[in-house]
Chain A
Amino acid sequence: MSEIKVDRELDLKGEVCPFTFVKSKLIMEQMEPGQVLRVILDYKPSVENVPKSMREEGQEVLEINQIGDNLWEVIVRKVK
């Protein structure tokens, strides 16, 4: 687990592209700049592409950590 203060958490276990990014983006839209979103993923291609797409959207990817056998967390700060 990360030490970063997380404002919203999104469990996307069982979801694949493109829904992993779409659902993350929809939550991000409800958040304020500066707030932090933690996304839980169990689909490897999304672990690469959700952060990539978030960066292209101008958001700040703080951490990508493997937290289980087939489980990852992506922590993103909303910039805009």
Chain B
Amino acid sequence: MNLLIIMASNPYSHDFNTAVKLAAASLERNHKTRIFFMGNGIYSIVRPEIKELVDKGAQVYYCAHNAEQRKIKPEEWAESSSMYGLSKLITEADKVIMLS
């Protein structure tokens, strides 16, 4: 399965834990797991739990415009993307979970 989690929640919201747990469970089941960070969700991309998910095989994308607005500079392992990129990811996904 191809799972896409869209993370748009504010920093320190309970959604962060939900996203991390869901992604970890998905990876354990060998599902293709992608997380897209946008809006205030961008702030969560700098947390170490996300890098751990990447190390386990998750693919991480972020809205470059939202990152620029918030002066967040994601690491190289996160792929710069856009609303167009998100629309592509949604069409490729079997399931999409939106956390906002």
Task: Give A contacts to B, CB under 8 Å.
Answer: 16-18, 21, 43-46, 48-49, 52-53, 56
Q: Does any Cβ of A come within 8 Å of B10's Cβ?
A: no
**Interface-located stretch among B16-24, B26-34, B50-58, B83-91:** B83-91
Residues of A within 8 A of B65 (CB): 16-18, 45-46, 49
Q: How many A-B residue pairs have CB under 8 A?
A: 40
Task: Give B contacts to A, CB under 8 Å.
Answer: 63-65, 67-68, 80-85, 88
Residues of A within 8 A of B82 (CB): 17-18, 21, 45, 49, 52-53
Question: In the assembly, what is the distance between CA of A52 and CA of B89, in Å?
Answer: 14
Closest Cβ neighbor of B84 among chain A residues = A53
Does B68 lie within 8 Å of A56, measured CB to CB?
A: no
CB < 8 Å: which of B67, B80, B83, B88 contacts A18? Answer: B83
